[in-house]
Amino acid sequence: MNSICSAMQGTERKHMDCNLQRFAYGPDATLGRLRVRDCVFYTVERPWLGNRPFESCIPEGIYSCEAYSSQRYLNVWELLEVPGRSKILIHTANYSSDVQGCIGVGSGVAPGGWWVMQSRKAMGQLRDMLPPNFNLTITHYVPEYP
């Protein structure tokens, strides 16, 4: 699975709502699809372990995000008001071991694996697309049965 994306107009960056839909929960990782308008990226997070800091992915919900930079994480985004957590970032990461509760973003999911590929490329695309502040809705995939 690779990211799907077409060029966006600069005026579309002013207000944006994004959706992260988790589709695979494993003992070592959680995988998801991040939709930004007509673009699809893939995410890797820690497994769900009851929202334990540094060990678990964060709860589903709607989060305000804002631009964030530090010495270690330049030009990334921070999710605000995450219950019981702080400094939850969207940043470059290929494996769940690369994050401590944050969200790693990639261009695709490794075939047969629990990690994402081309994280730096995906983050570069997100930096071009996302405004400094946006809303992120995190949900899980619910299959439809006939």
Q: What span, in angstroms and rounded, lies between the C-alpha atoms of 28 and 14?
A: 36
Q: What is the mean pLDDT of the chain?
A: 92
Measure the CA–CA gap between 93 and 43, rounded to whole angstroms: 9
Higher pLDDT, 135 or 8: 135
> Looking at the predicted structure, is the pLDDT value of residue 3 above 60?
no
Which pLDDT does position 4 carry in this prediction? 57
Give residue 9's pLDDT band: very low, low, confident or very high (50, 70, 90): very low
Does residue 65 surpass a pLDDT of 90? yes
11 pLDDT higher than 50: no
